Structure 1
Amino acid sequence: MTIERFPSLLLCALLFNAALFAQDDRAQRDAAAAAMQARTPADTTGKLWTTGGSFQVNLTQVSLTNWAAGGFNSLGGIAQFNGFANRHKGRYVWDNSLALAFGGQLQSAQGESYSDGTPIKTDDRIELNSKWGYELKKPWYFATLAQFKTQFTEGFDATGNRISNLFAPAYLIVGVGFDYRPSDDFSVFMSPATMKMTMVNDKTLFGGSTDPDLRVYGVKNGSTTELELGGYIRAQYKKELAKNITFLTRGDLFSNYLRNPQNIDVTWENLFTFKVNDWFAATLSTMLIYDHDIDVPKLKEVDGVKVPAPGPGTQFKQTLGVGLTLKL
């Protein structure tokens, strides 16, 4: 090989290697692009949903031995779950939440075991909410809402009479209207056309009465459901008051157009959460309910004697708990 031909051969070799490197680089880019494209649908779908929740268990225990002041041994606890799954895509918004709670307590006399105690239910709740909205013009949405409430098991009054059970009562609310949501922390749903169905699927709650006008949770004797048509408002606000302290308040108002529209059903809930660390938290919750169709225990005086006189009234529940919390 002559020296004059060497530059030409060297140039050919360089061009050949450059072509090989270019093909290899292009192949790597194509492979990377294909991998990215394969991941994109799953990643995009995942970003559309925001999910989360918490599970909390609170336990209490009191043991007395020869306690002169008297009292009862007690062992109790409450388990609570709150979860949500929200989807936001373009002008569509879909919010879903599930709340479950069940609690009980065993009381026994001093010297007796807990197994000999009397079980008392302290909390029992199933609530599912779903709200779908289409953005008209921020912050207004055309929206539909569905809500279902019931409990896990039977409940008794102070005398041992059964007064509630699974699906007795149960409430289903379906409404169409508008949702005002200026931020993720605050929303007001307003529906001029809402159906409310109350179910009582336990005939024993009527006590064997044949009175056709007797109502239990608003449901007439001989029936298992009561349909109402009315207006409905649901407002919700949540706020981080300070580091590790959050506040949630939620209120519902319903007026039945068909019967006694002046008697407005009210449900108002408040929840304070005080985070201690990643595993422990304290919660303070309150719930206020007024429903003219629900009789609550009352007493009235007749000839100097107080006798039972159940009737409509304001219900209130407060729960304070400290326990193990698992974030989901």
Structure 2
Amino acid sequence: MKRVLLLFLLSLFISKSFGQSFGEIQKIESVGKTLVPNGFMPLINTSFDVSGNYVFTYNQLIPRNGRTSFWEQVNEFTLDVSEVAFVNWNAGGTNSISGMYGMNTVRTYRNKGFRWDNQFRFRYGINQQEGQELIKTEDDLELISSFGYEVSKNSNWFYSGKFSYKTQVSRGFNYPDTEVSISEFMAPGYIFLGIGAKYAQPDESFELYLSPITQKSTFVLNQRLANDGAFGVRSAVRDGDGNIIREGKTSRNEFGILVTNEFEQKIFESAVVVNRISLYSDYINNFGNIDIDWELVFNFKINNFMRASIGAHIRYDDDIKIREEAPDGTVVVGGSRIQLKQQLGIGIALQL
């Protein structure tokens, strides 16, 4: 929980810092004026995004000294909260409260055919039921950075290199067992690094990345989990009595092909579908077995501040084996399984 609090404070600091560095722009709709501190003369694109929210694109902020900035930024924050309470309810039930915080910050640089995209995503959810311990329901931290140069003038295709990093910030458990963790910060952690080609529409509604040269690194920086061979790393070697002869490896490297796609589509006036998918196959180990990370979310606008969302997240990794309990009570390693998560939320959404 300390990591979560620190990360939350860091996210607010990052947003504030970037906002100050690029010049804060405040829109006063009642009088139609723009306030521009720090001596900036902005070129502002104002519009409604696909979700119907009023947004600013800080495009080429020009200080009065004549220098030009080619940075654009987006800051999105969401908070979903739900609560259930019972008093003399004869059908029974348990008081509970849950919440999920989301953050999405984007920084994009464009100039003379060069494009540098940076995105930081963080989501964390908790649930508290009366008489039970706090339960983590969501934990996702992701950093993506890609650099490209357009194939030809005003082309939507770019020669591109891409780096991505994904992990979680706090320990996860197989509830109700909270004694032994099954995941934690950098256990696992994933890093993708590759080069290829990227297609991006000017309005950012569709993006496709193709990389035939990508290294995938999996980290399990918890020796107990590494010894168990969690998340596909090489497990420890043990003798007949279960004593460790050789420690398990804390990392695993693969070399293969990566395809990612992200698009947003407005399906009617107040609803948008967001699709993100990542497909990876290793050239050396079982080429043709595809690791899948697919997220599909429907966002519904209630008003300028309230929104609802429903989505599903599917993952499949052939290297991650599910542990099962045998009839005699022992735990054995089974095969790979499709991992599925579904979520529904109503809450506040802000774009700064």
Instruction: Give yes or no for contact 2:321–2:333 (8 Å, CA) kept in 1.
Output: no
* Whole-Å separation in 2 of the counterparts to 1:38 and 1:146: 32
2:214 is the alignment partner of 1:197:
no
Superposed CA deviations along residues 35-84 of structure 1, whole A, max 9, x for unmatched, are 99961545x21xx1221121111111111233333321111111111121
2:153 is the alignment partner of 1:134:
no
Instruction: Give yes or no for contact 1:298–1:311 (8 Å, CA) kept in 2.
Output: no
Correspondence for 2:58: none
**TM-score, structure 1 as length reference:** 0.77
Q: CA deviation at 1:162?
A: 1.1
2:263 is the alignment partner of 1:237:
yes
Superposed CA deviations along residues 256-279 of structure 1, whole A, max 9, x for unmatched, are 112111211011112222121222
CA spacing shift, 1:297–1:120, aligned 2, 3 Å: farther
1:290 partner letter: Y
Q: CA deviation at 1:297?
A: 5.4
Greater C-alpha Rg: 1
Give SS of 2:151's match.
strand
2:179 is the alignment partner of 1:176:
no
Once the two structures are superposed, the pairs formed by residues 236-275 of structure 1 within 5 Å of their partners are 236-275=262-301
Instruction: Give yes or no for contact 2:78–2:101 (8 Å, CA) kept in 1.
Output: yes
Question: Counting helix residues as a fraction of each chain, which structure ranks higher?
Answer: 1
Correspondence for 2:230: 216
* Whole-Å separation in 2 of the counterparts to 1:272 and 1:281: 11
Q: CA deviation at 1:205?
A: 2.2
Q: CA deviation at 1:182?
A: 4.5
Correspondence for 1:111: none
Q: CA deviation at 1:228?
A: 0.7
Structure 2 regions of 5+ residues with no counterpart? 1-39, 42-61, 236-247
Once the two structures are superposed, the pairs formed by residues 281-300 of structure 1 within 5 Å of their partners are 281-296=307-322
* Whole-Å separation in 2 of the counterparts to 1:128 and 1:146: 8
Of 164, 167, 189, 2:186 maps to: 167
Correspondence for 2:305: 279
Structure 1 regions of 5+ residues with no counterpart? 1-34, 109-115
2:132 is the alignment partner of 1:100:
no
Question: Counting strand residues as a fraction of each chain, which structure ranks higher?
Answer: 1
2:200 partner letter: R
Identity of matched residues, %: 32
**TM-score, structure 2 as length reference:** 0.72
CA spacing shift, 1:41–1:275, aligned 2, 3 Å: farther
1:136 partner letter: V
Instruction: Give yes or no for contact 1:299–1:310 (8 Å, CA) kept in 2.
Output: no
CA spacing shift, 1:203–1:276, aligned 2, 3 Å: same
Please identify, of 125-134 and 254-263, the stretch whose mean Cα deviation from structure 2 is larger: 254-263
Correspondence for 1:39: 64
1:259 partner letter: N
CA spacing shift, 1:182–1:38, aligned 2, 3 Å: closer
* Whole-Å separation in 1 of the counterparts to 2:110 and 2:270: 27
Q: Between Structure 1 and Structure 2, how many residues are aligned?
A: 276
Give SS of 1:70's match.
coil
Superposed CA deviations along residues 149-203 of structure 1, whole A, max 9, x for unmatched, are 0001000013513100011100000110111234432221111110111001112
* Whole-Å separation in 2 of the counterparts to 1:38 and 1:155: 48
1:171 partner letter: Y
* Whole-Å separation in 2 of the counterparts to 1:313 and 1:61: 32
Q: CA deviation at 1:226?
A: 0.7
1:242 partner letter: F
Q: CA deviation at 1:220?
A: 1.5
